[in-house]
Structure 1
Amino acid sequence: NADPNFSLDSLKKSHDYVIIATGAWEKGRNPVSEGGDHVIDALDFLIETKDEGPRDLGKRIAVIGAGDVAMDAARLAKRMPGDPEVTIVYRRTEMYAPASQDEFDGAMEEGVIWRELLAPVSYDGQSLVCEKQRLGDFDESGRRACLGTGEFETLAFDTVIGATGARVDKGLFEKLGMNVDSYGDPRLSDAMESSLDGVYVVGDCRKGPSTVVAAMGDAKKAALDIMAKEGLTHDFEKVQVPVEEAVILERRGQLTTAKLPAEEGLRCLICDQVCRICTEVCPNRANVAILVEGFANSEQIVHIDGMCNECGNCASFCPHAGRPYKDKLTVFWSQADFTDSENIGFLEVSQGHYRIRDQRGRIFEAAEDQLQDLAGSDMTAVILAVKRDYPWLLNREHDCASH
């Protein structure tokens, strides 16, 4: 584990680049405040069992939560002495469980019991009192909110294991002087570089607990960026399998059942190449698809701040679990709106002169001939495409009148 008191300045004196990959090790919120020694944290349980071996947790064990760690804890709990009965208690339904499908299926195959729409309220070491839940509207996470019904159910358990999500020590990023967003997450470029030059953030500490594959992907992006800065070659190859846009669009709106495994791919809407869902579900048409040269996918989405009332509809329907009204490059119409927002984007201050907030949270002004050096090639391409081909999106009075 990293020294929590490490000095970034000291590291930068002896290293050209620093990659922060401290993970998500802070304990999640305890699901119940009572219970004493009968309540244990899932990560503590996994680590202690690995180091010290199995221990008797009683005949009935509850695991609170439904992520991958919860599934791991439940499967390990089944292996404790005495062949205990293990139950996962979750406040939403299986559809919204964050665990990967293979982890969930593995737990069910091993005899773990699944109880849903139950939110723990109290536990006295023997009885776990839960309030029955119902699903409400979609929240910012893209899942439906949990609403208490006022009805309660009491379940008997000898031990309760809390697996409600490990957390990131987000105070670290502000301590290091990085630009962070309203959630405390570091603002990063596509290459995972923070607002501090040469300092990258990858893995679970970037956005919270995820998978090893996602962490490897982050690290690869950082490595490619560092190699490019150092003029080094690499053998990484990205293979794009292009599909004609007409073929992709033809699939939209079709409800197709795959009768054979080989037919499963025919149901894919290929959202990584053409995805316009956020433009279609926005009642205010605040998300707009524009054509921009230089991207693997020439169709890029820009967000028009002046037309958005932050209803969150685009976030609810986004197949990439994104929040387009927050995540997409934003076109601002006024300095007040630019200041009030944290979105990546730009404001045309005057003809050919822009105020910009980049992915790393840096705010600066640039003339058109400075964009490439200051804003980077991707943002420059979008800004110039908007000005050249979609000037009405800038909300200039003469452009609006002519369109």
Structure 2
Amino acid sequence: EIDRDFKLVEATGVNFHFNADPQIRLDELKRSYDYVVLATGAWEKGRAPLKEGNERVLDALDFLISAKEDGARDLGRRIAVIGAGDVAMDAARLAKRMPGDPEVTIVYRRTEMYAPASQDEFDGAMEEGVLWRELLAPVSFDGKTLVCEKQALGGFDESGRRSMSGTGEFENLEFDTVIGATGARVDKGLFEALGMNVDSYGDPRLSGAMESSIDGVYVVGDCRQGPSTVVAAMGDAKKAALHILEKEGLDHDFIHVQVPVAEKVIVERRGVLADAKLPSEEGSRCLICDQVCRICTEVCPNRANVAIPVAGFANSEQIVHIDGMCNECGNCATFCPHADKPYKDKLTVFWSAEDFVDSENIGFLKLAEETFRIRDERGRVFDAPAAELEALAGKEMAAVITAVTTEFPWLLKNEHDCSQH
């Protein structure tokens, strides 16, 4: 209940200012507050689900809101829901409860494996009798017939999911009502309007603590990553809160509970094939990727992700990405147990100025014997002498750059130069 959540937050001492001007002015906020956390959510409607007939499609969020406010209504005997996220599952389950015991079908262009809905939401919909049709991309709806083009799975795209291509074959499905649930969107114009560094998608460039390129301004939750879960938003907020507390020199009571396992033991498990055991013994097969993970170095066909020893970190080795050896196949993103994209997220070693400019990755380019061009995690680009690396780029990035240049200089070379080593 929103009232309960509101009262809980208010009880901690949080002040609420309602009916505020939606045109956020950071300069005004900064006069009253030391830090600003943007958590504006993803409230804009997503893309239109069809090429033709969108005016006949009922928006999923509108449907959910109206059902809560106005109660059940007759949507006919056959209802389609386009999309496969959590909102689509909610809409399908609610549609199933409408008068007349309607037949409800989810129509999705990919396969179940790539449905963005959480597994429990998907399972719940199936258990309630919702039907599932996949590899169908809806094209048009005339109020009776939903025309869909049959799809074929292609290679992996940047999201780590298989891309889609139309086969040229079409299938006609008969429905009384079509509900569109193809996702909500973030108002990304806000970030650039506030003067933040953004990437090619319009998303803000943030540090690991969710801090933007503007000191003291953080972006968390759905407005950072698009529609997701409450848990993910809380995780963002926790990172921002910890960073603010650290800046202020304040203690905190956030505790990360972890069963420590020696790094040597974890590494020795890599590549060992163990038979399935009793349920009570299954934990012994766990690779403990939350403590030491090098999967991206193992699955890259081009060896573009490399683990190197770097002092000063909890783990003895850090992973760097070699831009000149990567063809962006997405293999590392597909297998990453943390749902990351190592070819985009890892500190990147660049071989040329052109490659540096063409990329948005955090990383560095060696300009001269003692000078580096840096792009940090907040999207700022600057040149740094070796003697000032730690002061300008931070202790951790400086340590990795130093390790690469002093212990693994061949990682700085292009293919032609590597042949000489």
TM-score, normalized by the shorter chain, greater than 0.5: yes
1:60-209 matches, cutoff 5 A: 60-209=78-227
- Return 102-111 or 287-296, whichever deviates more: 287-296
AA in 1 matched with 2:410: W
Between 1:61-70 and 1:25-34, the stretch displaced more is 25-34
SS of aligned partner of 1:46:
helix
Give the conservation status (yes or no) of the 8 Å contact 1:327–1:344: yes
CA distance in 1, matches of 2:104, 2:60: 14
How far apart, CA to CA, are the structure 2 residues paired with 1:368 and 1:159?
A: 64
Establish whether residue 389 from structure 1 lines up as the match of residue 410 from structure 2: no
SS of match in other structure, 1:4: coil
Secondary structure of residue in 2 paired with 1:319: coil
Partner of 1:120, secondary structure, is: strand
Distance change >3 Å, CA 266–CA 55, structure 1 → 2: farther
1:250 aligns with 2:269: yes
The answer for the alignment partner of 1:16 in structure 2 is 34
Q: Using the alignment, how far apart are the partners of 1:380 and 1:11 within structure 2?
A: 34
Whether contact under 8 Å (1:289, 1:301) holds in the other structure is yes
Assess if the C-alpha contact under 8 Å between 2:156 and 2:329 holds in 1.
no
Q: Which moved more, 1:351-360 or 1:268-277?
A: 268-277
Determine helix, strand or coil for the equivalent of 2:44.
coil
SS of corresponding position for 2:384 = strand
Deviations 1:281-325 (A, max 9, x none): 333322111122333333221011232333333334333333222
Question: Structure 2: which 5+ residue stretches go unaligned?
Answer: 1-18
Give the 3 Å change call, closer, same or farther, for CA 378–46 of structure 1 in structure 2. farther
Q: Does the C-alpha gap of structure 1 residues 393 and 267 become closer, same or farther in structure 2, counting only changes over 3 Å?
A: same
Cα 1:365–1:115 change in 2 (3 A) is same
Which stretch has the larger CA shift, 326-335 or 247-256?
247-256
Q: How does 1:312-391 map to 2 (within 5 A)?
A: 312-391=330-409
Alignment of 1:236 onto 2:264: no
Which of residues 252, 263, 283 in structure 1 aligns to 2:301? 283
Indicate if the aligned counterparts of 1:251 and 1:267 stay in contact, CA closer than 8 A: no
Contact preservation (8 Å) 1:203, 1:215: yes
SS at match of 1:136: strand
**Structure 1: segments with no counterpart, 5+ residues:** none
The residue aligned with 1:214 is: 232
Q: Report the TM-score when normalising by structure 2.
A: 0.88
Distance 2:39 2:236 in 1: 10
Displacement of 1:115: 1.3
1:310 counterpart = 2:335:
no
Q: What is the root-mean-square deviation in Å for CA atoms of aligned residues?
A: 2.4
Counterpart amino acid of 2:243?
D
The C-alpha deviation readout for 1:69-88, integer Å capped at 9, x for no partner, is 11111111112222222111
Q: CA offsets, 1:353-374, max 9 Å, x none?
A: 2221100001112223322222
The one-letter code matched in structure 2 to 1:306 is: G
Separation in structure 2 between the aligned mates of residue 363 and residue 182 of structure 1, nearest angstrom = 15
Deviations 1:175-223 (A, max 9, x none): 1111111111110000000001110000011121111111000000000
Shift of the 146–307 alpha-carbon distance from structure 1 to 2, 3 Å rule, reads closer
SS at match of 2:398: helix
Deviation string, structure 1 residues 39-86 (Cα, Å, up to 9, x no partner): 111112122222332222222111111111111111111122222221
Aligned residue number for residue 318 of structure 2: 300
Relative to 1, partners in 2 of residues 1:266 and 1:285: Cα closer, same or farther, differing over 3 Å?
same
Choose 312-321 or 209-218, whichever is displaced more.
Answer: 312-321
Residues 83 and 182 in structure 2, CA contact (< 8 A), matched pair in contact too: yes
Match of 2:14 in 1: none
Distance in 1 (alpha carbons) for counterparts of 2:68 and 2:57: 18
**% of aligned pairs identical?**
76
Structure 2 CA distance for aligned equivalents of residues 145 and 36 of structure 1: 24
Q: Hey, what's the Cα distance between the residues in 1 that align with 2:54 and 2:281?
A: 53
SS in 2 for 1:172: helix
Secondary structure in structure 2 of the residue aligned to 1:129: strand
Secondary structure of the equivalent of 1:365? strand
Q: Distance in 1 between matches of 2:350 and 2:76?
A: 59
Alignment partners' CA distance in 2, 1:255 and 1:208: 39
The answer on whether the counterparts of 2:269 and 2:287 sit within 8 Å (CA) in structure 1 is no
Helix, strand or coil for the counterpart of 1:119? strand
Q: Which shows bigger deviation, 57-66 or 3-12?
A: 3-12
Letter of the aligned partner of 1:174 in structure 2?
E
- 1:141 is paired with a residue of what secondary structure? coil
Contact kept, 8 Å, 2:52 with 2:139, in 1: the verdict is no
**Secondary structure at the counterpart of residue 149 of structure 1:** strand
- Stretch of structure 1 that moved more, 147-156 or 167-176: 147-156
Equivalent-residue separation in structure 2 for 1:330 and 1:229 (angstroms): 28
Q: Which amino acid aligns with 1:96?
A: Y
Matched residue SS, 2:46: coil
